[in-house]
Amino acid sequence: MMTSARKIFSSEFLLSLSLVLVSQTRFRLADGVGPGEIGLAILILTTFLGIFSPRFELFVPKRYGFAWLLVLFGLFVLTPITLLNAETGMRGPVPRDILAYLLSFLLVFTAIVRRLDLASVASFTVILMCLVFTGQYLLGGDQAWYLSARFSAGSDNPNQLALYLVCGFLMIAMTDWRLPVKSLFAGALIAFGILSQSDAFMLATLAMAGSWTAFRLVPRAWFPAFLLFGTLPIAIGILFLATQTDLLADIQSIWAHSNGGSERSILYINGIKAYLSTPVAWPFGFGAGGYSGNTGPFGGQEAHNTIIDCLTIGGVALVALVHWPLLRTLWEAYSLKRYAIAATIVGLLVFTMFHFVGRQPVFWFTVIAAIQSLYGLEVRERTLRRHTKDPITDAPSMPGGGLHA
């Protein structure tokens, strides 16, 4: 009983509760500030106050090295560029958004420095998500729905709810729960996703299923070739489109005519146009804010595509900071044959193509939790191999034997 009470009042539980409450954007106390943001701020503030304690140890393991880069980028690149462009009268910079980025980046640093048990946080978060979203469905009234038709569970839009659901799949994959329990919670998340009618959620879910199948069926020796020939044409096509602004305009016209004026495609194209408008912004972008628009670039809107929005906000640097940890974790999961984790990361990557996640604390938590989970699995595997001796040579068994036999 004492152990359970201690967990409820732990930093891990505070982090879980705060992450879930951040999703309740319709119930914030002020613009951009709600109970969730306050909880995360308290966690971060108490961590930095601990610097003055003689027992405090500022140590960031090498696998989390990007945490330093995130904080330094937020403080010394993103902040001054945003303030400078806002001062010059450029349309798009939003200085208030700097706080959201710093909250997310400092959260990563805080969780690492405090050596929090992120597996416990992931378990708590999934449970609390299901409780809060169920409560919203039963009792939330109009505040739980978007245009009275799509379930948003207290978020401003269904895709924000969908981000939590996709991250929830990855958290479930990281837990040591038994398969029936995992299936139960995954089923709940799927039900909420269907209610949200989020096409991004559906595509992410299909990507998870498809990639898990590919990971299981395609031999490891053939997978690099499979990946190369499967994604290279798409990458070349995207690069070609990104450099041919006239062609982009033609495609936009055709798409708008055939698709009823798809707002999403317009935002994508105008976001790309904004980024390509000046080479000065290519390395570090224009700062926090939105640089796409329905009528043209620099319309004060986000493109709702993580790569495009990262380019306009933080340039190539922010694209790398957001995607490199996720891609490295994907490779690590695949290498360790943790195909469920790898597949959910693929689904998350697909989801980011339809929603901007760069300033979302739940996204950054999920990334570092996956890194911690895989590091623990890697250490466990190395230990098992070291203690598994070949009965003839009395040497450690080679990979492929023992653990994976």
User: 228-265 in b/e burial notation, b at 16+ Cβ within 10 A?
Assistant: eeeeeeeeeeeeeebeeeeebeeebeebeeeeeeeeeb
How many alpha carbons fall within 13 Å on the CB side of residue 78? 32
- Residue 301's beta-bridge partner residues? 292
| pLDDT exceeds cutoff 90 at 395 | no
Q: What are the residue ranges of helices labelled H in 197-243?
A: 199-217, 223-243
Show the 3-state SS of 3-61.
HHHHHHCCHHHHHHHHHHHHCCHHHCCECCECHHHHHHHHHHHHHHHHHHCCCCCCCCC
Q: What is the average per-residue pLDDT within 291-308?
A: 94
Nearest to 338 by CA among 111, 195, 176, 203: 176
Tell the burial category of 306 from Cβ atoms under 10 Å away from its Cβ (0-12, 13-18, 19+): buried
pLDDT at 44: 95
pLDDT tens digits, 270-294: 999 999 999 999 999 999 999 999 9
Kind and range of the H or E element at 68?
A: helix 66-73
The pTM of this model reads 0.87
One-letter amino acid at 213 equals T
Compute the distance between CA of residue 159 and CA of residue 306 in angstroms, rounded to an integer: 13
Tell the burial category of 337 from Cβ atoms under 10 Å away from its Cβ (0-12, 13-18, 19+): middle
Q: Are 18 and 43 in contact (CB under 8 A)?
A: yes
| pLDDT exceeds cutoff 50 at 342 | yes
Q: Tell me the pLDDT of the chain averaged across its residues.
A: 87
Show the tokens assigned to 279. 């080479």
Name the band, by pLDDT with cuts 50, 70 and 90, for residue 267.
very high
Compute the distance between CA of residue 195 and CA of residue 301 in angstroms, rounded to an integer: 26
pLDDT tens digits, 33-91: 999 999 999 999 998 888 777 777 778 899 999 999 999 999 999 999 999 999 999 99
Compute the distance between CA of residue 4 and CA of residue 10 in angstroms, rounded to an integer: 10
One-letter amino acid at 238 equals I
